[in-house]
Amino acid sequence: MPSQPSSPGIFSEMMTITKDEESSRQFLLQKGILLTTVQCACTSTMILKPCSATKSPDLWIFRCSATGCSKTKSCRFGSYLSNSKIPFSSLLQLLYCFSSKNLTNVDTAAYTGLSRKSVTEWKASLLEAVAIWILNNPQPIGGPGEIVELDEAMMGRRKYNRGTLREGAWVLGGVCRRTGHCFLIQCPLNRRDAGTLLPLIQRHVLPGTTIHTDQWAAYNQLSSLGY
């Protein structure tokens, strides 16, 4: 038996939303994950229209609104799901399971009906999407009385998927212990010395915050900066 979700009420609500593909699709539209309109190659607006399963298993497509233009696109076009065939309900269930800290990949596979391999691949894809969003939308975290944990890491690829990292970028990340608010930022010029890290910390961590680090020498001046 899989582990039980940490928030039964939210889990029940999610199962109601994902009871079928249409309710799941409507939820994704409401949240802006799926688009309501896209532009056709003829520059006219393409709008959502119901269709047969032979045209699209999603039962909806974008159809050009221009007279004489018969172009169509998948209802997933332009969204995070544009290159995926995962059922809408399965995606929402995956998102819930990944946000529930007590559920493993095995538990997630049991709840969603997906293979463990698919769960692992989707988890990596979703984590990458979250990291990109955080990089593009940094917000200051912490403040007086708050504890922020900081660390720097190399993000990149291993040659032939094994051994040490051959190439990549240094990033600085932080998470507020109480709120869970976080940031992730690439280090300029791919450096992690004091002259690089301290300005980043001042930009992304509010004064008065108690900062916990790995004792890297570049952090030695934090106390003189109001942390």
pLDDT of residue 215: 83
pLDDT of residue 28: 95
CA dihedral 146, 151, 156, 159 (to 10 degrees): -140
Spatial distance between the Cα atoms of 111 and 23, rounded to a whole number of angstroms: 18
pLDDT of residue 19: 92
pLDDT of residue 7: 60
pLDDT of residue 96: 87
pLDDT of residue 165: 47
Q: What is the mean pLDDT of residues 3-15?
A: 69
The answer to whether the beta carbons of residues 148 and 210 sit under 8 Å apart is yes
Instruction: State the pLDDT confidence band at 37, using cuts at 50, 70 and 90.
Output: very high
pLDDT tens, 89-142?
999 999 888 887 778 889 889 888 899 999 999 988 888 888 788 778 878 999
* Average pLDDT score, the chain: 87
Instruction: Count the Cβ atoms, other than its own, within 10 Å of residue 46.
Output: 24
pLDDT tens, 59-80?
999 999 999 999 999 999 999 9
- Percentage, residues of the chain above pLDDT 90: 53
Instruction: Count the Cβ atoms, other than its own, within 10 Å of residue 114.
Output: 21
pTM of the model as a whole: 0.66
* pLDDT-wise least confident of 106-120, 150-164, 166-180: 150-164
Q: What is the mean pLDDT of residues 181-204?
A: 90
CA distances from 131 to 4, 99, 100, 182 (A): 27, 14, 18, 10
CA distances from 82 to 32, 34, 52 (A): 14, 9, 19
Phi, psi of 133 (to 5 degrees): -65, -45
pLDDT of residue 164: 52
pLDDT of residue 3: 61
Q: For 174, which DSSP code?
A: E
Task: Classify residue 162 by burial, with Cβ atoms within 10 Å: 0-12, 13-18, 19+.
Answer: exposed
Does residue 207 register a pLDDT over 90? yes
Instruction: Count the Cβ atoms, other than its own, within 10 Å of residue 142.
Output: 27
The answer to whether the beta carbons of residues 23 and 39 sit under 8 Å apart is no
* pLDDT-wise least confident of 12-26, 129-143, 158-172: 158-172
The answer to whether the beta carbons of residues 175 and 148 sit under 8 Å apart is yes
SS3 sequence of 39-74: ECCCCCEEEEEECCCCCCCCCEEEEECCCCCCCEEE
The answer to whether the beta carbons of residues 160 and 167 sit under 8 Å apart is no
pLDDT of residue 135: 75
Q: Which amino acid is at 204?
A: H
